[in-house]
Chain A
């Protein structure tokens, strides 16, 4: 007997029920309904809540009026931290007018040498101050992972209340999950040496969020 069959046989014995087809139909109906558990009541409006939570998680946040202001905002941020003018960006935001802002931005997957990564996001979650990034040819996951500094452009219109709302949006707009759906909440951190929190474990040490109002 294969290990698969052997294990499943033991699982079936433990479960102790035989009407497999009926139980599977019940399970499928449950999945199709995807009921939600207890939901939070957020006291602030979404953008305010998102910003407060993101800042609490050690991200820095600024607001701009329209997407066309993004390159200048990124340039100002990089200059203020003396981070140079070079960056890798996800292809979905690489078409902004970066050159006019004095930046040298290439749209591609990130490599180890990249110091700054710029991405958009699929949506953002107010409850926890979290970004949801979906991997794909236009939005490679390495851009938000390998560089020490991650800058994300977050349209205010894409802020939803909860993770459940993000899943609903994902089902409506994409239908299925990409290879990697990454929920990102601030810079990477570790507490493994004497429970002392240090930012910048393996992923970015700095996360800067640019909220785009228009």
Chain B
């Protein structure tokens, strides 16, 4: 697990901590109705143009299934089209290789600063740490990612990375970092960040972005943002690196247009995002702007092995975030409780699949069985069914022996009692030992990332998370 730095093993412990955090709870409670209401409005507006959600959904499912069932062919077509436009296409097996490739490209082009547009794959790879260690300054430019980077944290939501942060916390961060008088007016704070980040856009030699889709027909990257930072990092720096998963291919521009009728609506309720860019190759003859070098890094990191498996449907995911925006568990805990890059229902499926089922034993249990996620997913991924399948795999894999269940029941009992829990937290390293079975499997429980020395936390019992959640709800 070392390479993946997953904290997903400690979901249950973190869950109790998050439920007890009033600042986090305030931030989440403010966000939830906004997310749900906006999506409902966006999807509802389809009827104005006589479009039907279910019909569009089926079309999106078909597009994604068409690609996945012949992914070898579509990757081949994408690669040759992208190369024909002058882009370089590289492949990375895992996060470590992503870092190596990016650093190598940076060195070849004398890069000292990289401006980044939100990229979850770069989180999978811990790219910022690797860049910094190689002497290259990474600057996150999506406002939410920037806030999270200043705080030394990781994103807690794939669309709204700083959803867990309150205005006051952000104001403090800006005051500390920007050395300007403290402001709490949101437009003024946005303005301040714009001014600071503009200088980074102009001075970075490399732009790093994700892309929502790879278009096979044209060899293009489709990049969707609202802030315009995606356009900045793909226009101003002399080198542009796109980091994306191998499953992101779609066949044609028309297929892309179909997916775009549901992606922004599902994510933020918008009919379209402010900026949708199709990026094809490099600076053309006569152009006086745009990158001189464009590099695609196509990443596996656990994706290929899902093809042909019981979990292939998960690869249809277009990362809209609707499943977490409608998840009662997510909104009780926030994204950090999930311990790895992807939170919410999609994370509860992806994290065990990408990092290993044995490393994320709690996550498939982070469900109330309400199927809100499944009913909003624009590509109809049966998330509760996949989580159920993962639980069965845990049982058949012998990952949940009785002794461990017993230990975790004991832990859940402690975690469910706030006063005792806090007492335990303060003395964790010393006192939690009594919870361990006689092989001493619990060494240090993961109460916070820094505390988590061991990784031998045993499996939780099937119901404990739900019991904990239900108990909190009754409070």
Contacts and interface: CB of A to CB of B under 8 A. Distances in A.
Interface of A: 2-4, 6-8, 10-17, 20, 23-24, 26-28, 30-31, 34-38, 40-43, 53, 57, 108-109, 112, 127-128, 130, 135-137, 140-142, 145, 162-164, 167, 176-196, 198, 200-204
Contact of A179 (B48, B231, B282): B282
Interface in B272-306: 272-284, 286-290, 298, 300, 304-306
A11 B307 contact: yes
Contacts of A37: 56, 59-60, 63, 254-255, 257-258, 261
A95 B253 CA distance: 33
A44 to B, nearest CB: 10
Given A200-B194, A201-B228, A31 B71 contact: no
B31 to A, nearest CB: 5
B438 interface: no
Interface stretch (B73-81, B404-412, B442-450, B451-459): B73-81
B287 A190 contact: no
B108 to A, nearest CB: 18
Given A8-B72, A17-B70, 14 more contacts: A15-B307, A37-B258, A135-B287, A141-B235, A145-B232, A163-B257, A177-B280, A178-B284, A182-B275, A193-B143, A194-B31, A201-B143, A201-B229, A202-B231
B373 interface: no
Nearest to B260: A163
B308 interface: yes
Contact of B226 (A10, A40, A189): A189
Interface of A is mostly: loop
Nearest to B279: A180
A37 B189 CA distance: 41
A136 B70 contact: no
B475 interface: no
B198 A202 contact: yes
Contacts of A7: 91, 93, 246, 298, 300, 304
A36 B306 CA distance: 29
B152 interface: no
Q: Top 10 closest A-B pairs, CB basis?
A: A14-B307, A203-B228, A37-B258, A40-B49, A201-B227, A192-B144, A10-B304, A137-B286, A188-B228, A183-B276
Nearest to B286: A137
B246 A11 contact: yes
B30 A182 contact: no
A185 B272 contact: yes
A34 B215 CA distance: 12
B331 interface: no
A198 B289 contact: no
Contact of A137 (B72, B260, B288): B288
A203 B70 contact: no
Nearest to B142: A192
Nearest to A199: B187
B97 interface: yes
A3 B92 contact: yes
Given A27-B74, A137-B286, A145 B231 contact: yes
A192 B162 contact: yes
B274 A186 contact: yes
B414 to A, nearest CB: 34
Contacts of A28: 77
B290 to A, nearest CB: 5
B160 to A, nearest CB: 7
Contact of A182 (B49, B60, B277): B277
Nearest to B30: A194
Interface string B236-257: 1000000000100001111101
Nearest to B276: A183
B7 interface: no
B226 A201 contact: yes
A26 B197 CA distance: 46
